[in-house]
Amino acid sequence: MVLPRALTPPAAPDTPDPAPQAGGRVPALRRLDRILPAVVLVAIAAFALIGIGSPLLGQATFAATDEMVTTSPYSEVPEFAGVRPTNNYLDDTWDSALPNTLLFGEELRDGNIAPWNPYTAGGVPLGATPNYGLGSPLTVPFYALPGWFAPGIVKLLEIVVAIGGMYLFLRRLRLGAASSLLGGLVFASSAFMVVWTGWPQTRVAAFIPAVFWAVELIVQRRRVRDAAVLALAMAAMIFGGFPAVTGYTVATGAIYLAVRLFATYGREWRRILGGFALAAGGVAGGVLLTAVQLLPWVAFMSSAYVEGRAQQPDAHLSMASLVTSIAPWALGSTNPYGDVYWYLPVNLVESMSYLGAAALVLVVAAVAMARRGRAALPQGAWLFMVVATGGWLVLIYGGGFPLKVAQSLPYLFSDNFVGRSRCVLGFLLAVLAAVGLELLLRRREAVRARRWELAWALLVVGGVGVAALAALRGARRAAYLADRAAAGDGWPRTHELTREFAVGAVLVLLAAACAAALWWQGRREGGGRLRLVAAGLLPLLVAGQALAFVVPYWPRSDRDTFFPMTDAHDYLASHLGPDRFAGMYRSMTRSVESAFRLRSATGHAFVDRRYGELIRSPADRVNFSSTNVAVGGGLTAITSPTLDRMSVRYGITALDAPVPGTARPAPTTTGLTTLQPGASVTVPVPGTGPIRAVELTPMESREEWEATDRIEAVVTDESGAEVARTSRRLGRTTAGQPLYIPLAAESAPAGARLGVTITVRAAHAVPVQAAGEQAAVGAVGTADDGLKLAFVGAAAIYERTRALPRVRWAGTAVVEPDSTRRLDLLKGGTLTNDQVVLEQQPSAPGGGTADVRITEDGTDTTEVSVTARGSGYLVLADPIQSGWTATVDGAPATMLKADHAFVAVAVPDGTHTVRFRYTTPAGGAGGWLSLAAALGIAGVLVAGVVRDRRRRTGEAPLGSSGPVLPPSAS
């Protein structure tokens, strides 16, 4: 029976075997087919196990917490003082992704699916949205394993999913097992999949091959269950967060679907439209399956503080970054303590373009052998891969008019840096690499190549050569400019570029030699051993160079660095209560404290727009990005009345920060003196007590003292009794610039004469300004600024004595509908503690007083007991104007917009219970949609399995009028 062309099953991916050799030996090609997949599997195992390394054995953690402990307050802890991370490009992983994941996992193990995180940046959605990838199937290890152990297992699962999906897709394209596995290895080791490790981004990108596999299933089989498979792959991507990766995949996959359908079915419009319908249903199914998070995400992002993300046509990657495709460290490393640090204007995470020397050779082979490539793959597949790869290369590295057109489209390119589409480019290149190996492995006929084939191959090779020269020229220009700007000895960046690129070029030549051996030996009966060696060497080259890339990049931190607590954390845990702190001047400014359940006004997260406007308002300027929320104005804003309204009870600074207060200059300096190691010097403190700091003026600059080098100060009163003590790292000293030593000496009596004993605990002396024969010591006294230096340990902690409670009573309301005037009013300091700023005239009269007591304060619920004497307003200083509801004694209550970013509820006279609860905007509808989609997808998959089983057993499905023919007969 002759089948229509569209229904013809794909050719078997196995390579044809030559006739057995004399003596009964296994033919060389058959031996190659058997051995090569095993070699590739060994290469994959080596890449995964060696690349991740000791974290899989529990000896370290696959998290960049070694970088975390170099920041304040950890940097002051002696056991962390000597830590030197090898990669400081992984900030977001430890300061946002990990703390939020750890918090959600803890809540989940306690039986709570926490939709809200109240601890960072005032409060932001947590499990309600996919921002942190908490719903991704690849995040599950965090919920079942210790937090320090889970990241390594997550990365291992990413590699398995990426390679497994690529294997399924390439086998569906009729490639052999070895080629399919190698394509997976190339994709898993490509730039995006390596440099974004630790972010949710790679958990999304790992499913790109699975999406294309599902699309190919729809093209070839056009079954409803294949649409269900696509829905599951899409849902896995959406649940992983970072929607740009999903968007790039859907856009590319849609074009691939169209090309394949039209190439396969010609003008059979019914089949073509059916394929489109199935794919659209699969995408819709994935969206519906994730509606439980997707709808709340849309609701939250519509009111989120998002600015400065617009893209321009010149916002693309430099051609120079293409040298990293074969030489990943040619443009510098991630190690700030090394000789050559990354020096392109666009950072390494966004610029790295690694593919691998051997993989590049295979890509060139696949593109150069156009006729064989088109014949080897299903119709239209080779052409799509080549054209799509070229298109993405133009957008990512060329920019210009094509990128301008793309940026005119909504969202995908207009709000996202185009360099992040390397996720799809890496996938396409990995497919071509697999195709290249497959074409080299297959035996070829002894026929003369056509002229156009030779011309095309020369054009491809020549084009790649020209692009390589252009990239190298741009890279050398960047290295030259960086070396000249550094004004150091020699030309380290230029020399490093030459050396690394030379290594990459040698690997290219070696891989090209292997490819040539496979090609020229493809027609010969002899030479089987040479083909086996050449074929086996290619995957080893891929894995070997990939390991040289990932081993220095992927983190392997000491387990002791995994979110430890310092004395500063302990102090906050004991004193903060339900209020907030604000990290300032390089100390506790991120979202790390979510892991310790300490409420922070600052953090690394998307925040509500009004909250972003409020926290930046003290300085009338934006000094943070959309996702890095800091206090406007830096340290000078620590006394702002705006922070009082935000319930910032404590301000945290690093020990080397300037100290707010009244300056007390040192006596007139007459020269310099030297503070000798181990020797103590006692001098009087200028003025009288109390004080917040003493200061010295070093006369010698030192970029970095040893990790253990410290300076100690002990303040005593006239009787010799100790008042305060501080020991801080010397860190960096600059000649002529003050060296502050903060001291919690505000308890010293006013008018008391104080002395300070200074001791240098270092290997070298410290030359400082002198007054007479003694060190010139200045001081910072107290001031009427609402601050009290309450604690000095690993950080300096200032108590903000004028801060209002996070949950408070306001008897009267001030109405101000204009946003600008409202922010000015809040930072002006004229409001009383009994007032709240509302946007519209309230119906309640107010004027009463009340006692307020918090009875419950969880992640997504706050309950307050109010005993009111007259009516008024209960104010909750949380940014919960969207997605939250309030009740008074169980009855729904109206939440009034208060103090610009917060809420208030009118409460009548008497004793009442006010309850605030996060309801997840559209989460109810989203949950029902997700449940319905899950049931529908499960039903489709089960029905497909039942149908296949009945066909295999010869049973007629329900509703049929006759027997079902076996597959061979149909």
Look up residue 78 and give its DSSP letter: H
d(CA 366, CA 460): 10
* Residue 335: predicted pLDDT: 84
Tokens of 819: 């946003």
Q: What is the pLDDT of residue 58?
A: 94
**Which residues, in sequence order, are CB contacts of 906 under 8 Å at separation 6+?**
842, 843, 844, 871, 872, 873, 893, 894, 896
Helices (H), 207-242: 208-221, 224-239
pLDDT, residue 167, reads 98
Instruction: Take residue 694 and report the two structure tokens written for it.
Output: 């003493």
Name 869's bridge partners. 849
Q: What is the pLDDT of residue 6?
A: 40
Assigned CATH class of 662-784: mainly beta
**What count of other Cβ atoms lies within 10 Å of the Cβ of residue 715?**
24
**Which residues of the chain fall below pLDDT 50?**
1-26, 526, 622-623, 956-970
Describe the chain by its helix, strand, coil percentages, rounded to 5: 45, 15, 35
Sign of torsion, CA 124 125 129 133? positive
Residues 6+ apart with CB under 8 A from 290: 130, 135, 235, 238, 239, 930
Return d(Cα 900, Cα 904) in angstroms, integer.
Answer: 11
- Alpha helices by DSSP H, listed for 852-899, are none
Distances (CA, A) of 816 to 825, 840, 897, 906: 9, 7, 11, 17
What local confidence, expressed as pLDDT, does residue 445 receive? Answer: 60
Q: Look at residue 328 in the predicted model and tell me its pLDDT.
A: 97
The arrangement of strands across the sheet holding 766-771 comes to: 671-675, 766-771, 774-775
Is 764 exposed, middle or buried, given 0-12, 13-18 or 19+ CB atoms closer than 10 A?
middle
Within the chain, all domains assigned CATH 2.60.120 are found at 662-784
**Contact (CB, 8 A) for 441 and 27:** no
Architecture category of domain 807-918 in CATH: Sandwich (2.60)
Burial 620-634 (b: 16+ CB within 10 A, else e): eeeebebbbbbbbbb
Residues of the chain with CATH 2.60.420: 807-918
| CB-facing half-sphere around the CA of 241: CA atoms within 13 A | 23
pLDDT, residue 889, reads 96
Neighbours of 651 (CB within 10 A): 28
Q: CB of 568 within 8 A of CB of 585?
A: no
CA distance 259 to 383: 9
* CA-angle at 158, arms to 152 and 161, nearest 5°: 145
